[in-house]
Amino acid sequence: VDEHRWFKHRVRVRYQETDQMGVVYHTNYLNWCELGRTELIRELGYPYRDIEAKGLILPVVEAELKYRLPARYDDEIEIYTRVSSYTNVRMEFCYEIRRVHQSETSIANASAGVLGVRPAGDLLVDGLTRHVWVNQAWKPARMNKELPELLKLLSEKS
């Protein structure tokens, strides 16, 4: 694994994301994965909003998560995301969701949202999602035909 390809994005746990166990309800980590890949794609230079404006969408076809430690209300969380593989029709992203150590809060914050970092902090959840490119009629689409710019950005930066 080449840690230089990891992208990190900071969020803080919202009250709404907790449940009566006193921890983050487990489906929210999957939301955070979406935030991670959205911000990674933005960082690559092609916001997902613009991709959908071109008529392409990237639905999830598979998701796997391993829960190791619970996140709690108001924790500062870093979502680490990287493109683990892609072809013209598919994409796979890996994730590590980590809690920022209290002492590193301000330093870590300084480098939030940067591509090419080494994951740090307590590992809470890791996992992956697999996606296919489809058009608005949910028919398969090909990146080299429909989104050559993104393909180029992926090959250069991810």
Contact 35, 42 (CB under 8 A): no
Binding to its own copies, residues 18-77 (CB under 8 A): 18-23, 25-28, 30-31, 34-35, 38, 47-49, 52, 57, 59-68, 70, 73-74
Binding to its own copies, residues 137-156 (CB under 8 A): 138
Q: How many residues bind its own copies (CB under 8 A)?
A: 37
CA-CA distance, 48 to 104, in Å (whole number)? 31
Q: How far is CA 13 from CA 47, 127, 139, in A?
A: 24, 19, 36
Contact 122, 68 (CB under 8 A): no
Closer by beta carbon to its own copies, 66 or else 101: 66
The footprint of its own copies (CB under 8 A) covers: 14-16, 18-23, 25-28, 30-31, 34-35, 38, 47-49, 52, 57, 59-68, 70, 73-74, 138
